[in-house]
Amino acid sequence: MKRSHSARQWLHLLLWAHAISVLSFYLILWRRTAPPKSRQDKITPGPVPDHTTASIIVPARNEERNIRRCVTSLLGQEIAANETYEVLVVDDASTDGTGHILEEIARSHPHADRLRVLRLDDLPAGWAGKPHALHAGVHQTQGEWLLFTDADTWHAPQALHTALAEANKSSADLFSFGSDQELPGFWEKVMMPMAYLGISMQYPPKLVNDPKSPLAIANGQYLLIRRSVYDALGGYDRPDMRGTLLDDRDLALLVKREGYCLRFVDGRDLVRVRMYQGLAEAWRGWRKNVFLGSRGGVAFVLLQLIGLPVMTIFPFLVPLLALSKSARRFLDTSRQEIIAAGLIELAPLLAYRFWENRGMKVPFYYAFTHPLAGALFTGIMAQSTWRVLTGKGVDWRGRLYYNRSQISSKKVL
C-alpha cells in the first residue's frame, strides 16, 4: 500500500511538473521570438548609392508550376534611376515545361531584355543541386549585389529597391527578407506554423541580427549578398559548401563567422512564397533538411523527438484525464486539479498559436490542429534522422543526398 501510495504521489508530481514545463516553454518561446518593442526591424529604406547594380539569380528545376509568376514579378521591379539589374534563371536540367515557359517570357515580356537563361545539364560529383546552380549563375553575372531567390516566390514591384536601400542603410553584407507564406490548403495551414515555431525557437531573429551572437540564418527565398563578400569567402564553391542542403543557413553562418554584417528582417509585404502543395510534398520537403538544420547534433535531435510530443500533443490530453474516474484515482487527485493543470498548459500554448496564426494569416481555429502538426513533425524528424544516419539518404526533385556513398564525406552540422 505504501509503495502504491508513493507511486501515485510521484505521478501527481509529474502532472504538475509537466504543466509548469509547458507553461515555461511557451513563455520562453514567446520571449525569444516576439518582435522587439522598439521595432528595430521595421523597414524604413533610404537612398542607395549612385549606380547600384544587382544580379538576380533564380535556380529552377522542374518549376513549370511556379516559374512564370516568379520571373514576371522579377522583370517588373520598379527601381530608382541610379539602379540597374538583371535576371538570370538557371534551368537545372529541368525535364518539364520550365524551359518552354522561359522561352515564351523571353519572346513576349516588355522587359525581356533584363532576362537571361542558363541551362545546366549535369550535376558534378560532390555538389547539391541548388548550390551548384547558384554558383554557376554567379559566374554568368556582373552585379555588385547578388540576389538569390527561389522559383516559387512572388516579388512586389518595390521589393528589390527596398532591399538594396535597406541593406545600404544598415551596412549589411548579407541581407535577407522573411517572406509571406501562401497557405491555401489544409495541410499547409496545419504544418507551416509548427515549422516556423521550430525555426524561430532555434534561430530567434533578435539573436540572428545581434553581431555578438554566433547564431545565423537567412531565408533562401530572398538572400541578398555583396558580390565582394561572396567572392572573398569563396561562396558555394568552398568544399564545405558544395554539398549543403541548407544553402541559406550555411552561407549566413559563414558570413557571420568571418565578421561580416548579417541582417534578417520581416519582408512579408514584399515577398510571397508557396513552398509546398499537399501533405506528401510538405513531408518530403521538410524531411530533406529538418535533421540537418537542427542545432546541437544528434543528441539535441533525440531530445526534440521526445520533447515535441510532450509540448504539442500531451497538453491536449491532460484535460481528458479529468473525465476518467480511474485516471483521477490513479493520480490521486481531483477533477478540478486536473482541469487546473490542463488550463495552465493550454492557455499559453493557445495564446502563442493564436498570435502566430494571426501573423501567418491562418484562421485562429487551426491552433487546435497543434497536436496533429506535432505528430507529423515528430514523424518527419524521426524519418529524416534515420535516413541520414543510416545512409539511406534524403531525396528532393529526383536527386538523392546523404546516401551511403556520400555520408562519410559530409559533415552533419
- More confident: 111 or 326: 111
Question: Residue by residue, what is the 3-state secondary structure of the chain?
Answer: CHHHHHHHHHHHHHHHHHHHHHHHHHHHHHHHHCCCCCCCCCCCCCCCCCCEEEEEEEEECCCCCCHHHHHHHHHCCCCCCCEEEEEEEEEECCCCCHHHHHHHHHHHCCCHHHEEEEEECCCCCCCCHHHHHHHHHHHCCCCCEEEECCCCEEECCCHHHHHHHHHHHCCCCEEEEECEECCCCHHHHHHHHHHHHHHHHHCCHHHHCCCCCCCCCCCCCCEEEEHHHHHHHCHHHCCCCCCCCCHHHHHHHHHHHCCCCEEEEECCCCEEECCCCCHHHHHHHHHCCCCCCCCCHHHHHHHHHHHHHHHHCHHHHHHHHCCCHHHHHHHCCCHHHHHHHHHHHHHHHHHHHHHHHHHHCCCHHHHHHHHHHHHHHHHHHHHHHHHHHCCEEEEECCEEEEEHHHHCCCCCC
Task: For residue 262, give the C-alpha cell.
Answer: 548579417
- Give the pLDDT of residue 412: 39
pLDDT of 145 strictly over 90: yes
- Give the pLDDT of residue 409: 41
State what percent of residues in the chain have pLDDT above 70. 91
- Give the pLDDT of residue 44: 60
Q: Which domains does the chain have, with CATH numbers?
A: 2-33+296-407 (no CATH), 52-179+219-276 (3.90.550.10)
pLDDT of 228 strictly over 70: yes
What digits encode the pLDDT tens for the residues 303-340?
999 999 999 999 999 888 877 777 777 666 778 888 89
